[in-house]
Structure 1
Amino acid sequence: MDPASHPFKLSQHLPNFRPFNTSEIEFVCISTDGSTCSPGDLFIALVTADGDGHNDVQLAIENGAAGILAERLLPIQYPLFLVEDTRTAFSELSQVIYAQTETDTELITIAITGSTAVAATSRLLAHMFETSDCSCQVISTPENSTPQEAFMYQAKSLQELSAASIQYAIVELSAEHLATRLFDTLSFDFLVVTSVENHSPEFDGTTQAYNNSYQRAFERLHQQGVAVLNFADPVTRFEFVPDNRAFLTIGPNDESDIWVQHLEHGRLGQSFIVHAGADSQEIFSPILGHQHVFNCLMSIAVGLLLHLPLRRLCESIRSYKSTPGQLQRVDRGQAFDVYIDRANTAKDLNRAVLALRQITEGKLILVYGPSSEHSKIERAEMGRVAERFTDVSIITENNAAYENPLEIAHDVLDGYLRSADAYIIPGRERAIVFGLTTAESGDTVLIAGKGDNTFDILGNETFYFDDTEIAAICIEEILNPVAKYGRDLFRFEDYADG
């Protein structure tokens, strides 16, 4: 963390602690990593899923820490301060360092959380604000960041947006972050819960802890704040209705405050009518899938709560052409359709496949693969979806990390009734090439699992990998083959044997 402009007295900002070896210290910054702790930092020993910070205390001392904030007594002759929960203390002190100013009351904060479509909804909502001449900024979690790094980034970003007189801040929150309690000092004016459909493979904990983390999101909502709930998701509808906060609902029928009437869909997009009270608007969107429709409703709900007219909000949706990683179309003039989607769970895969099944005249070809974080049960469920709703399914790797991609593929095959119907091509690039070179006029190819993520994890290394880029290169080669060393770069027979 960047050093503060002036030192802080610990007792003034964190009064409830038990001091040892001294009664007070001054610090210029806080640190949770002993190896990067700098002279004058207060080292906070966090206990997280990644490790116990108490084990790094000696390293922090050697690096010149001003003092140690811990949860248990340690055998050190050094300024030591004990608190009940260092995560909460870390959150409080971070807010001190990135102190909110009086202008914070003018920054309207909108938190978006859920098990799916968080990034897609935040981008759509940001587009609505921008086309309505409102200034806004999306605060996303940096890739591969720890929860404490994510919190510090969000706290600092909110302070910067406030200082810049930005009107709206859209903050993306995950169940993992909410569960750490590091975010307990953040508060929001509005909360959007996209869905709580499944225990995310990225969440390290029980299903109950997963659900509790979303319940904690309501505690971060201002007393006068309003939540937007997706009643198309049965879990949200029956288990996550707050009893001490106002809320607005969206859904597929008139039981919700804002609801949708589906009209028609095709290869070029879908049309639907949005009903909000006595008002209604018809919308055509080039983005496919029911999930996008509900993303639209949630964004419209926030806009209406901020007194933006329904007509203007719907005009914004009409001008929104694509969401990276959400049934994102790759079109280079080929005779078949190609879509990139982030779907990496059985439910998300089912949603994406069914959306494309309805508009596909020929074969539906699926390139997919679970990651090392998915359970064997989830992998088999994905296999069941692939076999049931697609014509050609190609299992490949997707962030296998330390696990053998073939073992992951074997778990996926457990979901098939006829495993011989599936292709297994461990190399993801080759799998994509095989799927695209198999496609004919009228077919649809869905490349699922990464979406707009541009990395692949093998062992302890992270490599650049972009599904969209690979697909575009392959399509260009199909349309304009260039002979290299006497043969084409991409040929069906190169990959027919897997």
Structure 2
Amino acid sequence: MEEISKSLYTLLKEIPEANVVGDTDRSIQGIVLDSRKAGPDSLFVAVRGTQADGHDFIEKALDLGASAILCEELPAVTRPGVTYVQVLDSARAMGFLASAFYGHPSQDFHLIGVTGTNGKTSVATLLFRMFRTLGYRCGLISTVQNQIEDEVIPSTHTTPDAVTLNGLLAQMRQQNCTHVFMEVSSHAVTQQRVTGLTFSGGIFTNITHDHLDFHKTFDNYIKAKKGFFDQLPRTAFALVNIDDRRGSVMVQNTAAKVETYSLQTMAAFKGKLLSETLFGMHMDLNGHEVWFRLIGRFNAYNLLAVYGAAILLGEAPEEVLSALSELQSPPGRFEQVHSANKVVGIVDYAHTPDALQNVLETINELRHGEEQIITVVGCGGNRDAEKRPKMAAIASKMSDRVYLTSDNPRHEEPQAILDQMLAGVPPLHFKKVALIPERREAIYRACAEAQPGDIVLVAGKGHETYQEVKGVKHDFDDRKVLLEAFLATGK
């Protein structure tokens, strides 16, 4: 991407409430959040984060050549020749400045944001794939990966920081994208990462307990999700799952045009699940009967959201349904691995109680007789601990055999996480539960136990290709390990 230079005076028009100390008649070559990336004529943004305060690194950024500082608190001593821009909220101001620095890229195509606890990746990815099938040039910003047409760009966050995000959107504009689909996490809304963007539409999937390590209370989590719809413009649509009891709450204060989708009640986009197997499902969408390759009631909701968004973007129903019928789930979402002797392995990203319950309900509905459901599941370290006993309780109730194991333990001790999970298992289910801290061993044990026709669910990591332990990421892909285990155990 070509180098960009913008007048600080012009950029500051985006934040007229700023208190400016110094000369604004200067060029800005880049906006940086990390002081180590500061260089000549860069603007360093001092943000107060959860782990560190950017104000502590102002001097380092200046030593590396930064010529302007965006901050909430001016240093006790200011340097001559440096411009200081003081605001009430650095993160919020950065969103507007980053958008302006890259020439407001989100205004040049249809930008659709997807938010909710579960389904964000599936809905955004399905929209991306479908609109490409319909002949459009598209961009994707998701947990799994960022993508511009065929070019894959590694993803480190569900929603990148405002500077990285606007830079990515500028690349998508440069590649003549007409539609961009992105996940919008609750962290992104709270931390102002999507501030300054112009959305053509927003989609709400559902909300259940998650990320309470960050938001502290469920009410705060709901407010974060709602905050995305609060900032949608009148020109946008807000498409919500009305079967979720908080769907209507999300759009209480939005200026956008509200539309709904549902499997249970009247809605603009109404669906009915007619039948399903391990290979797909038959649905009725607004009077059209279609066979889809996706599986499960949760995917029925995802398909409704995608269908509704496409219609609201002006596409013809028949063309949308034809394209949707050919699509498969994104990586690590109910992804199947079959053994030679007909054991079915399923890898799913389910890492919340609701998501795990949805997947296990689907599997239970699909089994025909005496097949056993063997579940391998863990919970991530240094994350919401409240869900640990809940997930173990769900797994033990809805499976015939359960192996509680490590997910990404991060800086916690795996055994301590497992003990917290085990606390949620009812006594009558103790006999079917085993604790195996080593995830590879747990998967191998599950596969060794499985008989022809049985279903082995490996939940929690999905598409991830690593396991994080004590700050180090080790190669680990549930799908590959599952295949290895089938071969090693003669399955």
- TM-score w.r.t. length of structure 1: 0.89
Q: 1:330 aligns to what SS in structure 2?
A: strand
- CA distance in 1 between counterparts of 2:108 and 2:97 reads 23
1:224 alignment partner in structure 2? 235
Which has the larger displacement, 331-340 or 399-408? 331-340
Q: Would you say the 8 A contact 2:251–2:258 is kept in 1?
A: no
- CA distance in 2 between counterparts of 1:191 and 1:146 reads 16
What amino acid does structure 1 have at the position aligned with 2:133? T
1:382 alignment partner in structure 2? 391
Task: Label 1:240 to 1:77 Cα distance change in 2 as closer, same or farther (>3 A).
Answer: closer
* Aligned-pair CA distance for 1:409: 0.6
* Aligned-pair CA distance for 1:255: 1.4
- CA distance in 2 between counterparts of 1:2 and 1:455 reads 33
Within the candidate set 307, 311, 318, 1:304 is matched to 311
1:52 alignment partner in structure 2? 53
- CA distance in 2 between counterparts of 1:286 and 1:62 reads 56
2:31 equivalent to 1:30: yes
* Aligned-pair CA distance for 1:204: 4.1
Task: Label 1:185 to 1:13 Cα distance change in 2 as closer, same or farther (>3 A).
Answer: closer
| Runs of 4+ residues deviating >6 angstroms | none
Q: Would you say the 8 A contact 1:5–1:28 is kept in 2?
A: yes
How many aligned residue pairs are there? Answer: 473
Q: Would you say the 8 A contact 1:456–1:463 is kept in 2?
A: yes
Q: Which runs of 5+ in 2 are unaligned?
A: 144-153
Instruction: Report Cα offsets for 1:341-399 as digits up to 9, x if no partner.
Output: 01111111111111101122311000001111444431111111011110000000011
Q: Would you say the 8 A contact 2:376–2:458 is kept in 1?
A: yes
Matched residues, percent identical? 22
Q: 2:300 aligns to what SS in structure 1?
A: helix
2:164 equivalent to 1:153: yes
* Aligned-pair CA distance for 1:163: 3.1
2:404 equivalent to 1:403: no
Q: Would you say the 8 A contact 1:191–1:227 is kept in 2?
A: yes
2:151 alignment partner in structure 1? none
Within the candidate set 336, 340, 346, 2:343 is matched to 336
Within the candidate set 317, 322, 326, 2:324 is matched to 317
* Aligned-pair CA distance for 1:222: 2.3
- CA distance in 2 between counterparts of 1:11 and 1:248 reads 36
- TM-score w.r.t. length of structure 2: 0.90
* Aligned-pair CA distance for 1:201: 4.7
Q: 1:394 aligns to what SS in structure 2?
A: strand
What amino acid does structure 1 have at the position aligned with 2:324? I
1:493 alignment partner in structure 2? none
2:432 equivalent to 1:430: no
- CA distance in 1 between counterparts of 2:6 and 2:25 reads 16
Instruction: Report Cα offsets for 1:49-78 as digits up to 9, x if no partner.
Output: 232111111211221211222111312231
Q: 2:285 aligns to what SS in structure 1?
A: strand
Which has the larger displacement, 387-396 or 127-136? 127-136
- CA distance in 2 between counterparts of 1:11 and 1:266 reads 57
* Aligned-pair CA distance for 1:16: 3.4
2:85 alignment partner in structure 1? 81
What amino acid does structure 2 have at the position aligned with 1:297? L
Root-mean-square deviation (CA, aligned residues, Å) is 2.3
1:489 alignment partner in structure 2? none
* Aligned-pair CA distance for 1:181: 1.9
- CA distance in 2 between counterparts of 1:13 and 1:254 reads 43
Task: Label 1:307 to 1:23 Cα distance change in 2 as closer, same or farther (>3 A).
Answer: closer
What amino acid does structure 2 have at the position aligned with 1:89? A
Q: Which runs of 5+ in 1 are unaligned?
A: 481-498
- CA distance in 1 between counterparts of 2:450 and 2:140 reads 37
Within the candidate set 457, 460, 465, 1:454 is matched to 465
Instruction: Report Cα offsets for 1:170-204 as digits up to 9, x if no partner.
Output: 12210001111232101201111111222335644
2:110 alignment partner in structure 1? 108
- CA distance in 1 between counterparts of 2:43 and 2:245 reads 45
- Greater radius of gyration (CA): 1
Q: Would you say the 8 A contact 2:111–2:201 is kept in 1?
A: yes
- CA distance in 2 between counterparts of 1:449 and 1:6 reads 44
Q: Would you say the 8 A contact 2:348–2:457 is kept in 1?
A: yes
2:95 equivalent to 1:98: no
Q: Would you say the 8 A contact 2:203–2:305 is kept in 1?
A: yes
Q: Would you say the 8 A contact 2:377–2:403 is kept in 1?
A: yes
Task: Label 1:430 to 1:359 Cα distance change in 2 as closer, same or farther (>3 A).
Answer: same
- CA distance in 2 between counterparts of 1:114 and 1:414 reads 28
- CA distance in 2 between counterparts of 1:81 and 1:95 reads 17
* Aligned-pair CA distance for 1:19: 3.2
Q: Would you say the 8 A contact 2:31–2:163 is kept in 1?
A: no
- CA distance in 2 between counterparts of 1:244 and 1:35 reads 40
2:4 alignment partner in structure 1? 4
Within the candidate set 294, 312, 316, 1:287 is matched to 294
Q: Would you say the 8 A contact 1:187–1:220 is kept in 2?
A: no
Q: Would you say the 8 A contact 1:25–1:67 is kept in 2?
A: no
What amino acid does structure 1 have at the position aligned with 2:454? D
